[in-house]
């Protein structure tokens, strides 16, 4: 009989990728029911269609809010052609994989827009493309001067390239991954703090990202980095010490005051105060009984 004490459990062996990746459905964590390695529809489902020129299929995530804010801003400037029906797409229930939605966005992600103002509907997907489509169509929120326009487009595309590190990188590993991986959290926390510093330095020299005027660049960046600056994303405010980015804070507060922003944030929203949620928007009067809060309440 051995008298040696039992040996302590050995640490989990490091993962060694196999030669060929295979789909282990159980490893998908919180998003296992919607993440798939293949594109295309999972089921037949036609999209609803309303009476307005713009048909939006979306949800009030930061990417969705960009578009509802843009449409509300255009309406506030008197563009009746920007009237829209906003339909709710519940991405956690897989509605982005319905055949009708995939026909509007083959990438199966909100937001997706159908511009029905012409003889044939025009589909637009990717929030940056939607903002640019609307800005060019209505001649708003995109500077006419070539140098100012170049600055505006640079920040617009900066957002498109940067936010995946914030959401898919930092947010995923800090808040959603089934285990906390120090290497991954460090890597993406560092990158997100660097991004906040990029914005902070820019906003130290001008009121808005493209210069003196509010533009599609602010409309794209604010829902992500403004929410982050207010501690509303991934409960990461303290961890990232977001209060230190004081020019980002100033800009976030300034934009949060805009009535169109307060309205746009409510559209297709399914969490937070019930009175601040407008699941679908079909008319300006839909906002009447709602609380249009600023950036403060989640």
Ligand X SMILES: N[C@@H](CCC(=O)N[C@@H](CS)C(=O)NCC(=O)O)C(=O)O
**Distance (Å, rounded) from C-alpha 238 to C-alpha 62?**
20
46 Cβ contact partners less than 8 Å away, ≥ 6 residues apart:
98, 99, 100
Q: Which of these ranges, 79-87, 103-111, 233-241, 278-286, lies near ligand X under the rule CB under 6 A?
A: 103-111
Q: How many residues at the interface with ligand X, by CB under 6 A?
A: 12
Report the residue from 52, 53, 57, 61 that binds ligand X according to the rule CB under 6 A. 61
CA max distance for the chain: 89
Cβ proximity to ligand X: between 111 and 236 the closer is: 111
Cβ proximity to ligand X: between 90 and 201 the closer is: 90
Cβ proximity to ligand X: between 108 and 268 the closer is: 108
Tell me the closest approach of the beta carbon of residue 253 to ligand X, in angstroms. 24
Q: HSE (CB half, 13 Å, CA atoms) of 203? A: 26
Tell me the closest approach of the beta carbon of residue 101 to ligand X, in angstroms. 10
Cβ proximity to ligand X: between 165 and 249 the closer is: 165
Tell me the closest approach of the beta carbon of residue 66 to ligand X, in angstroms. 8
34 close to 92: Cβ distance less than 8 angstroms: yes
In the region spanning residues 109 to 138, those forming contacts with ligand X, defined by CB under 6 A, are: 109-111, 126-128
Cβ proximity to ligand X: between 53 and 167 the closer is: 167
**Distance (Å, rounded) from C-alpha 270 to C-alpha 225?**
21
Report the residue from 34, 103, 184, 207 that binds ligand X according to the rule CB under 6 A. 34
Q: Which of these ranges, 10-18, 105-113, 261-269, 290-298, lies near ligand X under the rule CB under 6 A?
A: 105-113
| Omega within 30 of 0 (cis) for the link into 212 | no
Q: Is 268 in the site for ligand X (CB under 6 A)?
A: no
Report the residue from 55, 96, 252, 268 that binds ligand X according to the rule CB under 6 A. 96
Cβ proximity to ligand X: between 236 and 247 the closer is: 236
- Residue given tokens 């409309």 in the structure block: 219
Cβ proximity to ligand X: between 111 and 143 the closer is: 111
**Distance (Å, rounded) from C-alpha 112 to C-alpha 115?**
10
Tell me the closest approach of the beta carbon of residue 117 to ligand X, in angstroms. 21
Q: What letter does residue 26 receive in the DSSP assignment?
A: G
Q: Is 55 in the site for ligand X (CB under 6 A)?
A: no
Task: Spell 194-226 as b/e; 16+ CB within 10 A means b.
Answer: ebbeebbebbeeeebbbbebbbbbbbbbbbbbb
Phi-psi bin for 89: left (phi > 0), alpha (psi -120 to 50), beta? beta
10 Cβ contact partners less than 8 Å away, ≥ 6 residues apart:
none
Tell me the closest approach of the beta carbon of residue 175 to ligand X, in angstroms. 14
Interface residue list for ligand X (CB under 6 A): 34, 61, 63, 91, 96, 108-111, 126-128
């Amino acid at each position: 009989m051995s008298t040696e004490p039992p040996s302590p459990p050995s640490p989990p062996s490091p993962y060694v990728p196999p030669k060929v990746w295979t789909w282990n459905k159980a490893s998908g964590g919180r998003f296992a029911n919607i993440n798939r390695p293949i594109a295309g529809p999972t089921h037949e489902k036609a999209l609803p269609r309303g009476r307005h020129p713009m048909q939006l299929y979306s949800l009030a995530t930061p990417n969705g809010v960009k578009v509802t804010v843009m449409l509300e801003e255009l309406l506030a400037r008197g563009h009746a052609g920007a009237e829209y029906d906003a339909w709710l797409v519940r991405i956690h229930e897989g509605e982005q994989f319905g055949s009708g939605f995939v026909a509007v966005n083959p990438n199966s992600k909100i937001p997706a827009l159908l511009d029905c103002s012409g003889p044939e509907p025009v589909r637009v997907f990717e929030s940056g493309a939607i903002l640019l489509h609307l800005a060019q169509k209505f001649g708003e929120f995109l500077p006419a001067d070539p140098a100012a326009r170049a600055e505006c487009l640079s920040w617009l595309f900066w957002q498109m390239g940067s936010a995946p590190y914030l959401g898919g990188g930092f947010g995923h590993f800090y808040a959603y991954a089934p285990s906390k991986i120090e290497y991954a959290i460090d890597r993406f926390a560092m990158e997100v703090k660097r991004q906040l510093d990029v914005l902070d330095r820019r906003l130290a020299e001008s009121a808005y990202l493209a210069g003196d005027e509010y533009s599609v660049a602010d409309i794209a960046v604010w829902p992500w980095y403004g929410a982050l600056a207010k501690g509303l994303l991934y409960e990461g405010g303290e961890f990232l010490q977001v209060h230190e980015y004081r020019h980002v804070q100033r800009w976030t507060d300034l934009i949060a005051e805009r009535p169109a922003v307060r309205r746009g944030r409510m559209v297709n929203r399914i969490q937070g105060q019930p009175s601040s949620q407008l699941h679908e928007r079909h008319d300006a009067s839909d906002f009447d009984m709602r609380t249009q809060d600023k950036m403060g309440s989640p």
